[in-house]
Amino acid sequence: MAERTIPIADLRAAAAVPRVPDRPVAPTGLLADRLGRPLRDLRISVTDRCNFRCGYCMPKEVFDGRYPFLPHAALLSFEEVTRLARIFVAHGVRKIRLTGGEPLLRKNVERLVAMLAELRTVDGEPLDLTLTTNATLLAKKARALKAAGLQRVTVSLDALDDAVFRRMNDVDFPVADVLAGIEEALRAGLGPLKVNMVVQRGTNDHEIVPMARFFRDHYDGRVVLRFIEYMDVGNTNGWRMDRVLPSAQVLERLDAVFPLEPLEPSAPGETAERWRYRDGRGEIGLISSVTQAFCRDCNRARLSTEGKLYLCLFASRGHDLRALLRGGASDEQIAGAIGLIWSDRDDRYSELRGSGQAPVASGERKVEMHYIGG
């Protein structure tokens, strides 16, 4: 039997060492890219491993026991992560989200949270420090994370029906344990809490209304349920447009049962369109990166678990900041390199895809979601 080829492993090497300017300019907190978008949000992946095998992110047939996950020595240490975060904050970052893979699999991740919680924005304010998780370890970790300085969590949950959820996570993990993690997070004060549901036509779209009913009836506005269009992230999830349920149709289904009214965005560059139940019992969000591109306001950078900077969730190449960290570059030099990278940014994948243009160069493969987080 021929040995199977894993098509994405080499993509992690597709990163150049950034150029350091001859005369770096100190960060001012006002860095903007070629489309005038500021740098405000940093997503940090702390591990490329996950204990779920969701088909839209880490399908089991690819990410099996033979898949070459990164060795521990390749990962950024907590000290290296914090050093880079401090430099990004000096450039204007105000929000940091820890992600993965599954970030709670990273040993002692609460120590990293405590280190990041000490950082301050250019205005002297605490960072908005959040974490996205599948909640498998959240019940055990919630209080320690809160004590370390984490403010909020976002939980991924794609169905309430236990059979559907077990089938989607593909490791037979029960819904009840995710809900227990949500309860413990709320008790610990990690709220308001968000729940993300990736909607796939024909797979879990029948769960839209039951999910909305459950979270609006049980949590009195303390949980915001967000519906995410199934995205063409990476190369292994077999994405097809006919499996995308447009957010407009999600809204129609919900509004028919629970009348909704629009809300203003809570922050510039927010990915979710906000809607409030007319009876005042909370809100929902719609993330429509396939049918309604929000590239024009995107203020997010992504740092992979071994220190590569990506400027778009759909990127095919990164910038190797770890090489600068471990090569003896000063903070001033690294800040200068990041400044050059961001100021040259013009990424707008979803917008180009929506207009029928080629978003990536022919033959290039997009980076996988588990590697740089959602």
pLDDT over threshold 80, residue 97: yes
pTM of the model: 0.90
| Tokens 């105000």 found at | 94
Q: How far apart are CA 12 and CA 316, in angstroms?
A: 9
- List of domains in the chain: 9-372 (3.20.20.70)
State the Cα angle at 372 between 207 and 234, rounded to 5°: 65
194, containing H or E segment:
strand 193-199
pLDDT band at 227 (very low <50, low <70, confident <90, very high): very high
| pLDDT of amino acid 7 | 43
pLDDT over threshold 90, residue 368: no
The dihedral built from the CA positions of residue 135, 110, 307 and 41, taken in this order, carries a sign that is positive
Q: How far apart are CA 317 and CA 12, in angstroms?
A: 8
Mean pLDDT of 193-220: 96
Q: What are 236's two structure tokens?
A: 């292994």
By the 8 A CB rule, do 308 and 315 touch? no
pLDDT over threshold 80, residue 357: no
Task: Considering only residues 288 and 172, tell me which one the structure prediction assigns the higher pLDDT.
Answer: 172
| pLDDT of amino acid 267 | 77
pLDDT over threshold 90, residue 329: yes
Share of the chain above pLDDT 90, in %: 73
| Closest listed residue to residue 205, CA positions, set 258, 246, 174 | 246
Name the pairing type of β-strands 308-310 and 318-320: antiparallel
Task: Considering only residues 356 and 32, tell me which one the structure prediction assigns the higher pLDDT.
Answer: 32
Q: Where are the beta strands (DSSP E) in 208-340?
A: 223-229, 260-262, 273-277, 283-287, 300-303, 308-310, 318-320
Q: How far apart are CA 43 and CA 309, in angstroms?
A: 10
| pLDDT of amino acid 374 | 61
Mean pLDDT of the chain: 89
Q: What is the pLDDT of residues 34-64, one digit of tens each?
A: 999 999 999 999 999 999 999 888 889 889 9
| pLDDT of amino acid 55 | 87
DSSP-derived 3-state class of residue 79: helix
Q: How far apart are CA 145 and CA 264, in angstroms?
A: 30
| pLDDT of amino acid 10 | 46
| pLDDT of amino acid 5 | 37
Q: Would you give the DSSP letter of residue 104? A: G
pLDDT-wise least confident of 146-150, 201-205, 231-235: 231-235
pLDDT over threshold 50, residue 196: yes
| pLDDT of amino acid 107 | 97
Q: How far apart are CA 106 and CA 92, in angstroms?
A: 27
Mean pLDDT of 357-367: 55
Q: What is the pLDDT of residues 101-154, one digit of tens each?
A: 999 999 999 999 999 999 999 999 999 999 999 999 999 999 999 999 999 999
| pLDDT of amino acid 362 | 46
Identify residue 69 by its one-letter amino acid code. F
pLDDT over threshold 60, residue 4: no
State the Cα angle at 47 between 61 and 332, rounded to 5°: 140
